[in-house]
A and B are shown apart, each in its own frame.
Chain A
Amino acid sequence: MRIVVALALLSALFILGPLLIVVPMSFSTAKSFAFPPPDYWLGYYRAFFADIRWTQPVINSVLIAFATMLLTMALVIPAAFAMVRQRFFGRSAMNLLLMMPMIVPHIVMALGYYSYFSHLKIIHSPLGVVLAHTCLSVPVCYLIIAAALKGFDRNLERAAMNLGAGPLRTFWEVTFPVLRPGFLVGGLFAFIHSFDEAVVAIFISGQAASTLPRKMFDSIRIEADPIVSVVSTLLFAAVLLAVLSPLLWRAIRQTQMKAVPA
């Protein structure tokens, strides 16, 4: 029993290891990456927020990820409905095609985009990055939304129609609200996928549409700027907040429900 616990702690430590180094380093006074830090201050945080060469990529990344999410959803939701609910010729070929971006290595995709988008004159533009990221986000988003749709009880739609709702009202009153959690998770994955993506961004984003991962890569490669550890820490904090806030919210709601007996 003790061995199992020890193993679990060791695995946790292994996973947390990089964080244990990066987070203290972001508060370090060292001019470059040095561990352990000689002293602590908030100077690099100030530098990060004051420097447009850092804040601009953050804004770019958020906007590109958001646009990617919207475009991905606009493609994936109708596709998932067709794939799950209809039987048509070439359905399994279509399924394979939808999974393609997940199978082909990113570097190969990136090369393709590089030459193709140069030709279309949308390289080094946010539009190009959004299109490429959308393509890469489709498989994971499709898998999540198709799974949600497969688990959807079609009798709910029958019941809605039986009770007097036309096809459109049935979708908005029943199908969409019931599937909303699945849609949200699918959208979130598309957002994160774009926000995280570095390979394609390095190839095609250029200076004008530089995303945060690209900027971080450049920064490490060229200047070994400790601001990278600041960005990493902030990203980690953001993810932690995103993961913990629903749990926190549920806990608050439960205590409220207990306070007011039904």
Chain B
Amino acid sequence: MNAFPGRIEKEGRQGVTGSYLEIRDLVKSYDGRQQAVRGISLDIVKGEFVSFLGPSGSGKTTTLMMVAGFEQPTAGRIILGGREIAPIPPHKRNIGMVFQNYALFPHMTAAENVGFPLRMRKRPAAEIARRSAEALAMVGLGDFAGRQPRELSGGQQQRVALARALVFEPDVLLLDEPLGALDKNLREHMQVEIKRIHRELGITTIYVTHDQTEAMTMSDRIAVFSQGVVEQFAAPLDVYLRPATRFVGGFVGDSNFFAATGRPGMLEIEGLGSLSLPQAAASASGRYDVLVRPEAISLWRDGSTSAGHCVVPFTVTALVNYGDSVLLMGSSGALSLRARIPFVQATDIREGAQLQLSWRHADMHCIPAV
């Protein structure tokens, strides 16, 4: 069922020129000295699903609150559809939001909750009844219209909150860690559900989370927050494979970092020696952090080619078996290393084992060190 005629067509990222939601040099300071948000600029395209990913206190929720209008920016601008929205009070912004704790009105039924935004917009009673029923049906709760929030499970409350945030056809949908309180299976189910609804409605969505997997699987683009700034704003695979900063490389996924010094055409890695790398970054002089993902490292068999590979001796000090793979932790000389090996290749590895590990030069990513 389609609750929102005319909105199925995803107004694609190609079809619209420029950005739909523009955040320009946004600053938020609560006490005038320390800044929770320190100059953030983002351009979000219409219909895009963007995640704000970062640890707590990184400024992602504060930024969301400023978009919703619950916090006033200390400096900077927020432009939605060509219109500056910072001076507009929250109730006139037409932005839907799902709160971490759902924030359903406890004194209203599910249908009354969903009908609330339409009632505030003074729609006729018949239209309110029809549209809230459609919105509840869209999230699979058509039979629960008369229930009070306390009579619903966490997942069901989450769906009601989602229906309520979407029923008035907002320009932007904001989700503030919406799945944080749900158990793992339900969370994965709701991720699929939210993506389905996003596909159906094509609504511009900002999703705040500290869960990198959630951000990786759901987003068109991820903005990685740290200490009040956006460290990188890019597609999930770019963030994973080519992190812009050491923080991003360390926060998203598991990682090995090596300190390195760049010389023209060469890279001097501490503990590994000189390498000539194809990566553009390595051609410039300066200090680098070199990232190698543990899953890019494999066991090196005698006789296989070492051309284009780093091959290092390795002593296992600890191992964690995940069933499908084994995480080896240990050292290679002065370097400490983590390697993730498919379980079938690692059945006979024990603590204290001496091995040879290798990885491709192409799997090394150079990040200029700050």
Interface residues of chain A, those whose CB is within 8 Å of chain B, are: 153, 155-156, 158-166, 169-170, 173-174, 177-178, 262
The docked-state distance in angstroms from the alpha carbon of A163 to that of B120 is 8
Task: Say if the beta carbon of B80 comes within 8 Å of chain A.
Answer: no
The residues of B that contact A170 with a CB separation of less than 8 Å are 91
Stretch at the interface among B95-103, B209-217, B354-362: B95-103
The secondary structure that dominates the A interface is helix
A162 touches B105 (CB 8 A): no
Residues of B within 8 A of A164 (CB): 91-92, 94, 117, 120-121, 168
Min C-beta distance of B140 to chain A, whole Å: 18
| 27 A-B contact pairs sorted by A residue (CB < 8 Å) | A155-B99, A155-B101, A155-B103, A156-B105, A158-B68, A158-B103, A159-B99, A159-B164, A160-B105, A161-B70, A161-B89, A161-B91, A162-B68, A163-B96, A163-B117, A164-B91, A164-B92, A164-B120, A164-B121, A165-B116, A166-B91, A169-B120, A170-B91, A177-B107, A178-B105, A178-B106, A262-B146
Chain B interface, number of residues (Cβ within 8 angstroms): 29
Q: Does B55 reach chain A (CB closer than 8 Å)?
A: no
Residues 79-121 (chain B) with a chain A CB within 8 angstroms: 89-97, 99-101, 103-107, 116-117, 120-121
Chain B residue nearest to A165 (CB atoms) is B120
Q: How far is the CB of A173 from chain B (nearest CB, A)?
A: 8
The A-B contact count (CB < 8 A) is 68
- B122 nearest CB neighbor, chain A only: A164
Give Cα A222–Cα B94 distance, bound, in whole angstroms. 72
Q: Which of A164, A174, A177 has the most CB of B within 10 A?
A: A164
Measured CA separation A161–B94 after assembly (Å): 10
Task: Decide if the interface of chain B is mainly helix, strand, loop or mixed.
Answer: loop
Q: 4 tightest CB-CB pairs across the interface, nearest first? A: A164-B120, A163-B117, A155-B103, A159-B103
In the complex, A162→B90 CA distance in Å? 6
With most chain A CB atoms within 10 A of its CB, the pick from B70, B93, B95, B146 is: B70
Choice from A166, A169, A174, A262 contacting B105 with Cβ under 8 Å: A174
Q: CA of A161 to CA of B71 in the docked complex: distance in angstroms? A: 13
- Would you give the 0/1 interface string for B116-132, flagging 1 where the beta carbon is closer than 8 Å to chain A? 11001100000000000
A-chain residues with CB within 8 Å of residue B121 when the two chains form the complex: 164
Q: Report the separation of the CA atoms of residues A173 and B108 in the bound assembly, to the nearest whole angstrom.
A: 10
- A94 to B66 CA separation, bound complex (whole angstroms): 33
Minimum Cβ distance to chain B for residue A149 (Å): 15
A163 touches B106 (CB 8 A): no
Q: Which of A156, A159, A178, A262 contacts B97 (CB 8 A)?
A: A159
The minimal Cβ–Cβ distance linking A223 to chain B, given in whole angstroms, is 52
Of chain A, the residue at the smallest CB distance from B151 is A262
Please provide the chain B residues from 229 to 254 with a CB less than 8 Å away from any CB of chain A in the complex.
none
Complex Cα–Cα for A66 and B101 (A): 39
| Other-chain contact of B91, A153, A155, A156, A162 (Cβ < 8 Å) | A162
CB contact between A163 and one of B101, B147, B168 (< 8 Å): that residue? B168
Q: How far is A158 from B68 in the complex, measured between Cα atoms in Å?
A: 9
Q: Is the CB of A158 within 8 A of B99?
A: yes
B11 shortest CB reach to chain A, Å: 23
Question: CA of A59 to CA of B70 in the docked complex: distance in angstroms?
Answer: 50
In this complex, which of B70, B91, B147 has the most chain A Cβ atoms within 10 angstroms of its Cβ? B91
Instruction: Give A165 to B118 CA distance when docked, in angstroms.
Output: 10
Give the residues in chain A near B103, CB-CB below 8 Å: 153, 155-156, 158-159
